[in-house]
């Protein structure tokens, strides 16, 4: 049912024309060379092409391309070519017009961008894994040829997220999931900070609506108090900036709802215990680039004079910018009421790059091509990955994600060359980053005259020498030591070749063995062998045979031939990638029960009190009533539950959106097991107080208890039986009331 107001055709046309006028005015206010004629032509063409078509919300479809064009000019700062592409981005996909039509009217550049956007339409994911990988590859390939393709796509995704409320719940999960999985990290890597933050917050709003509302409500309730604290904090600094003749502005910035939620989840603390919600940004005008860094440090001293500075939270991004071009000086100082406040010091130029990213200020705006631009370096790493793409879609997406998340370290070669790597990178990652041959023959590293193994994790500032040996060859366990996309990609390719040769030798041994026994190879025999050894594929069996890890005999083969077990035949129908667990959890079969298809367009009500429940759990997470969960419909129409925040759920939302169903808890059942972590000051009788509070006061069934004390502190892991998150909250609250208990939180 559409919630869009009813308008007359004349009123609707006026709304469309007014929306277009806003785009045009924004363009005329920009510093771009004014090409109004082609923009007008693109709008009129798109308006006619989409005439009579409406979005799911009920509004005329043309309002979507107009909104995308507005984001392109006002939030990304792009010019006429990108604005035209935004107006036309769905024309080839949704109408009878072709790429050739667009090229004939608007030229090759605009046609190329529209074609690039058409290739990756409908999100970057289809229902089939191979399509996902191919579409994502197309997105990245188009980015390496014309960055404007991905920037217009980012604007398209942002508007889709802003209007996601009109979609069905399971579609909201899918779109929010792929936004968090790919688009937000991509925006981060391109330096589009504001867009990245909004995408994360919008995805969070639809994945965890209740938690989002709670956090926003608390932020609103504490807003005036926050402003008082920040103003008190910056008052002495303002005086110093004025005295030194700075032209500046100071902005108070609050941590995003998604960031607050992540910190609450990771640290298992309530909103009130998040101490770095406060942040201040000082932006100063600067006419001389040579003085930019000096002025940052001068302002830094204004803060250190009157405040206590956190010694471990100084970040100098002025000397070594982040990979997305971000430059600033960060410090954290103690403010009023014992609140830590993060301070970001930037010049106006730094601020523009931080907010809009290098992408928007690349060659299309200046006409200057800079071979050393950070964006070019990143695009080159993408090309490197694309040169040897993963055959498996989910592996491919994971490999790309390693490069999208850019928390980085900087290390040096023995000659002093700087190498930038993701945080957590090892000696092996560095070896592959320098050269593939170095990675293949790497046996160890040397840091500060100290030998370290391949798996050693590097820190910023390390000077690393790679030790090699001609006799060294890559091993499968090396995959555990690789944290960069390049190292994983190269290593997989090398191991795949070795694996293929080994499997070939094993297959020959198997066929020779059957020939000697006078037996014909068949799928039936192979299925029984795989079931017997619990192996996923014949290649695994062949490899184990070649490695002498399996011995087969004629008697064993004949026994397997007689066994009618259908277990493996079921398993072999599983269409999913083996790169992550999607095993069907065990559930007793009910005689005579025939599963009816799950209606994925309606909210699926969960009944934990059913016998059996109308859902299953996977092994990766343990949701209980009250947790935000999504349902995944497997081959047998069973609904498998995952917490929305579970890493496997993230992949499912991205890769298998058509199999998702929105869920809602329809009851409780006192049969869920959770673990609660308790910490505090050790004293005589503390354990008795804990058990009495749980057993006598709350009537909780304790299923396990492990307590340890060291010096003056104790730590206790409690396993309890409960019915919902609300009960767990009550348990934690009551435990905190016990004298000397300082922390009580759910950990599983």
- 566-623 pLDDT, tens digit per residue, is 333 333 333 333 333 333 334 444 334 446 788 777 788 888 887 788 888 777 777 8
| Rounded (5°) CA angle 429-496-476 | 50
Phi-psi region of 685 (alpha: psi -120 to 50; beta: other; left: phi over 0): left
Cα–Cα distance, 739 to 717 (Å, whole number): 18
Whose tokens are 């007793």? That residue is 588
Cα–Cα distance, 257 to 216 (Å, whole number): 7
Angstrom CA distances, 476 to 88, 466, 495, 497, 659, stand at 48, 20, 7, 12, 33
Cα–Cα distance, 204 to 211 (Å, whole number): 9
Q: What tens digit of pLDDT does each residue of 175-218 get?
A: 888 788 778 877 887 778 889 999 999 999 998 888 899 999 98
For the chain, give the mean pLDDT. 79
Instruction: For residue 656, give both structure tokens.
Output: 């298998």
Q: Residues near 303 by Cβ (< 8 Å), separated by ≥ 6?
A: 237, 309, 331, 333, 343
Confidence of residue 490 (pLDDT cuts 50, 70, 90): confident
Confidence of residue 645 (pLDDT cuts 50, 70, 90): confident
Cα–Cα distance, 259 to 266 (Å, whole number): 10
On the question of pLDDT at 256 being above 80, the answer is yes
| Longest pairwise C-alpha distance within the chain | 97
Q: Residues near 182 by Cβ (< 8 Å), separated by ≥ 6?
A: 124, 136, 397, 400, 401, 404, 654
Active site residues: 93-94
Pick the more confident residue, 91 or 599.
91
Cα–Cα distance, 554 to 513 (Å, whole number): 9
Q: Residues near 269 by Cβ (< 8 Å), separated by ≥ 6?
A: 263, 745
On the question of pLDDT at 46 being above 90, the answer is yes
Buried b or exposed e, range 187-196, using 16+ CB within 10 angstroms: bbbbbbbebb
Nearest by Cα to 337 from 504, 463, 241, 222: 222
On the question of pLDDT at 677 being above 70, the answer is yes
Buried b or exposed e, range 533-546, using 16+ CB within 10 angstroms: eebeebbbbbbbbb
Q: Residues near 420 by Cβ (< 8 Å), separated by ≥ 6?
A: 323, 408, 409, 410
Cα–Cα distance, 84 to 81 (Å, whole number): 5
Instruction: For residue 515, give both structure tokens.
Output: 């020939």
Q: Per mean pLDDT, which range of 104-118, 126-140, 191-205, 399-413 is the poorest?
A: 126-140
What was the pLDDT predicted at 576?
32
Q: Are 635 and 641 in contact (CB under 8 A)?
A: no
What was the pLDDT predicted at 566?
37
Coil/strand/helix, residue 332: strand
Whole-prediction pTM? 0.64
Sign of the dihedral through C-alpha 651, 653, 655, 659 = positive
Instruction: For residue 640, give both structure tokens.
Output: 């498998």
Angstrom CA distances, 64 to 58, 256, 546, 676, stand at 12, 26, 59, 48
Cα–Cα distance, 165 to 176 (Å, whole number): 11
Whose tokens are 């082609």? That residue is 38
| Rounded (5°) CA angle 442-448-452 | 40
């Amino acid at each position: 049912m559409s919630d869009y107001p009813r308008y007359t055709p004349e009123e609707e046309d006026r709304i469309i024309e007014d929306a277009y006028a806003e785009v045009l005015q924004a363009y005329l206010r920009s510093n771009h060379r004014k090409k109004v004629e082609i923009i007008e032509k693109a709008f009129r063409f798109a308006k006619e092409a989409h005439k009579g078509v409406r979005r799911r919300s009920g509004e005329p479809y043309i309002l979507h391309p107009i909104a995308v064009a507005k984001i392109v000019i006002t939030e990304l700062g792009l010019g006429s070519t990108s604005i035209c592409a935004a107006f036309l981005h769905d024309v080839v996909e949704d109408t009878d017009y072709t790429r050739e039509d667009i090229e004939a009217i608007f030229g090759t550049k605009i046609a190329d961008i529209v074609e690039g956007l058409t290739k990756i339409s409908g999100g970057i994911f289809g229902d089939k894994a191979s399509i996902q990988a191919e579409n994502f590859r197309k997105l990245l390939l188009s980015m390496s040829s014309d960055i404007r393709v991905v920037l217009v796509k980012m604007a398209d995704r942002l508007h889709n997220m802003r209007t996601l409320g009109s979609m069905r719940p399971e579609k909201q999960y899918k779109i929010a999931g792929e936004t968090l999985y790919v688009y937000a990290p991509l925006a981060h890597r391109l330096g589009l900070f504001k867009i990245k933050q909004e995408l994360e917050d919008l995805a969070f709003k639809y994945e965890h609506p209740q938690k989002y509302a709670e956090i926003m409500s608390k932020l609103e309730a504490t807003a005036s108090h926050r402003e008082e604290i920040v103003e008190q904090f910056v008052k002495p600094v303002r005086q110093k900036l004025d005295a030194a003749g700075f032209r500046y502005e100071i902005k108070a910035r609050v941590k995003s709802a998604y960031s607050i939620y992540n910190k609450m989840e990771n640290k298992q603390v309530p909103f009130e215990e998040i101490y770095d919600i406060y942040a201040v940004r000082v932006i100063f005008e600067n006419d001389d680039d040579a003085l930019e860094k000096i002025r940052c440090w001068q302002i830094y001293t204004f803060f250190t004079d009157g405040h206590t500075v956190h010694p471990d939270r100084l970040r100098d991004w002025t000397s070594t910018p982040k990979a997305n071009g971000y430059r600033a000086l960060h410090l954290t100082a103690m403010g009023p009421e014992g609140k830590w406040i993060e301070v970001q010091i930037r010049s106006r130029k730094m601020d523009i790059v931080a907010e809009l990213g290098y992408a928007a200020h690349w060659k299309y705006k200046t006409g200057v091509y800079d071979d050393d631009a950070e964006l070019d370096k990143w695009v080159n790493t993408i090309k490197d990955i694309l040169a040897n793409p993963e055959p498996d879609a989910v592996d491919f997406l994971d490999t790309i994600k390693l490069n999208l998340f850019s928390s980085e370290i900087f290390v040096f070669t023995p000659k002093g060359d700087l190498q930038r790597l993701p945080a957590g990178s090892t000696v092996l990652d560095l070896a592959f980053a320098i050269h593939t041959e170095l990675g293949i023959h790497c046996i160890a590293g040397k840091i500060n005259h100290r030998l370290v193994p391949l798996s050693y994790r590097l820190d910023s500032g390390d000077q690393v020498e790679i030790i090699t040996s001609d006799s060294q060859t890559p091993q499968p366990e090396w995959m555990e030591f690789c944290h960069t996309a390049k190292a994983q990609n190269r290593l997989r390719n090398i191991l795949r070749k070795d694996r293929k040769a080994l499997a070939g030798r094993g297959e020959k041994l198997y066929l020779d063995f059957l020939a000697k026994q006078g037996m014909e190879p068949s799928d039936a025999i192979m299925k029984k062998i795989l079931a017997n050894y619990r192996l996923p594929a014949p290649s695994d069996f062949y490899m184990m045979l070649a490695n002498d890890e399996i011995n087969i005999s004629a008697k064993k083969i004949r026994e397997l031939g007689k066994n009618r077990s259908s277990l493996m035949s079921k398993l072999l129908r599983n269409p999913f990638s083996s790169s992550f667990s999607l095993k069907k959890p065990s559930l007793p079969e009910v005689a005579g029960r025939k599963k009816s298809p799950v209606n994925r367009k309606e909210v699926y009500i969960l009944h934990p009190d059913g016998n059996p429940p109308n859902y299953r759990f996977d092994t990766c997470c343990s949701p209980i009533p009250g947790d935000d969960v999504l349902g995944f419909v497997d081959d047998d129409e069973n609904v498998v539950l995952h917490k929305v925040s579970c890493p496997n759920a993230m992949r499912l939302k991205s890769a298998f959106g058509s199999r998702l169903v929105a869920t809602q808890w329809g009851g409780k059942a006192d049969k869920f097991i959770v673990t609660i972590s308790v910490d505090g000051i050790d004293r005589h009788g503390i354990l008795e107080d804990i058990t009495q509070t749980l057993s006598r006061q709350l009537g909780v069934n304790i299923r396990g208890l492990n307590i340890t004390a060291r010096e003056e502190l104790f730590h206790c892991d409690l396993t309890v039986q409960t019915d919902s998150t609300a009960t767990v909250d009550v348990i934690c609250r009551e435990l905190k009331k016990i004298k000397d208990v300082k922390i009580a939180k759910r950990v599983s």
